[in-house]
A = this chain, B = another copy of it.
Amino acid sequence: MREINLDNLDDIARGAGILGTGGGGDPYIGKLLAREAIRKHGPVRVVDIDEVAPDATVVPVSGMGAPTVLLERVPNGGEELAALRALEKHIGRAATHIAPIEVGGVNSMLPIACAAEAGLPIVDGDAMGRAFPEAQMVLPGLIGVTNSPMALADDKGNTIIVEAVDNHAAERIARAVCVELGCQISAADTVLRGDQLADGLVPATLTLAERLGAAVREARAAHSDPVAAARAMLAGVHLLTGKVVDVSRRTEGGFARGRARIEGIADEAGQVLELDFQNEHLLATRDGVTVATTPDLICVLDSESGDPVTTEGLRYGLRVSVLAARCDPRWTSPGGLALAGPRYFGYDVDYLPFGS
């Protein structure tokens, strides 16, 4: 993949939705926004992390808010560009590259749309290697890159620049603004120099998303098991295939929080998997035993199609397959777990090392 165009966008959206662990927004809405921008402005050039000049100015852009709200309040398009322009004005220099802050249905697509609109290349990588709900949960935070200055923009034309004392404070301030402006805004933050990308980003996640999306599509076309194809590509672990029998969710503090219960079917009948989420799936408990925790990836796929199921897309009766996959190893360092381990989110369990 050397460019993102109308032909490979669907695969990227599908794969990114799976890697987004239930979060990062609905892939369908994200795809529509990126498709519109590519139609209007042309394909987006993709560059590898090691192709980026050391003094480049790489700006991650993203949507912030509750995915539940996104479903009812579809972005106009252009909000990320507004955040980018506000940030560029504030820092006094122009972005040379766009990057995704995370992998996820909408948050992989919005940077593509923004890159098309701005006429800039996009970096093949992201700052999480998955999706996380809060702005400070990024690998650049582990190497001392701040998320301030952070530029926020909404669809009405409001822009806000946050210069916070630390990454958690920026998240708190941005989240308060986000809630006030209707639980959906755009952000440009965590500016990286080219020579910080190797340490600050997970490489090649756009390529991985495309390959993953293609594997699911091809398995489907060949009438083989698309979920197995995805699991194989991610070297993932099967947790349960079953039926969603209960979902409780609330939109709270600018997040979609809740819990889902899945009952096994066929030869897994009698087993129960519970998923706890805050925008993303964070904890999987099977028959009362913790089987996967954040920061590892907990991915929910439609059993038939292999398409990703977002936390806001969970509904009674849906047949899903749940798998776990290993996160980027930097997340399981003490600093990484302090940022995004299960205890940060208030769950009374320790990180469960993947595969144990």
Question: Which of B86, B173, B179, B181 touches A181 (beta carbons < 8 Å)?
Answer: B173
A176 on the B face (CB < 8 A): yes
A40 CB to nearest B CB, Å:
24
A27 CB to nearest B CB, Å:
30
A169 on the B face (CB < 8 A): yes
Q: Are B161 and A157 in contact (CB under 8 A)?
A: no
A223 on the B face (CB < 8 A): no
Provide the bound-state CA to CA distance between A165 and B278, in Å: 31
Provide the bound-state CA to CA distance between A160 and B174, in Å: 10
Max chain B C-beta neighbours (<10 A), residue from A160, A163, A164, A172: A160
A342 CB to nearest B CB, Å:
25
A52 on the B face (CB < 8 A): no
A159 on the B face (CB < 8 A): yes
Question: Which of B86, B156, B163 touches A169 (beta carbons < 8 Å)?
Answer: B156
A180 on the B face (CB < 8 A): yes
Neighbouring B residues of A160 by C-beta, 8 Å: 160-163, 173
Neighbouring B residues of A173 by C-beta, 8 Å: 158, 160, 177, 180-181
Provide the bound-state CA to CA distance between A175 and B175, in Å: 13
A-B contact pairs, 24 of them (CB 8 A): A86-B163, A90-B90, A90-B161, A156-B165, A156-B169, A157-B165, A158-B162, A158-B163, A158-B165, A158-B169, A158-B173, A160-B161, A160-B162, A160-B163, A160-B173, A161-B161, A172-B180, A173-B177, A173-B181, A175-B180, A176-B176, A176-B177, A176-B180, A177-B177
Chain A to chain B: the 6 pairs with minimum beta-carbon distance, closest first: A176-B180, A161-B161, A157-B165, A159-B163, A176-B176, A158-B164
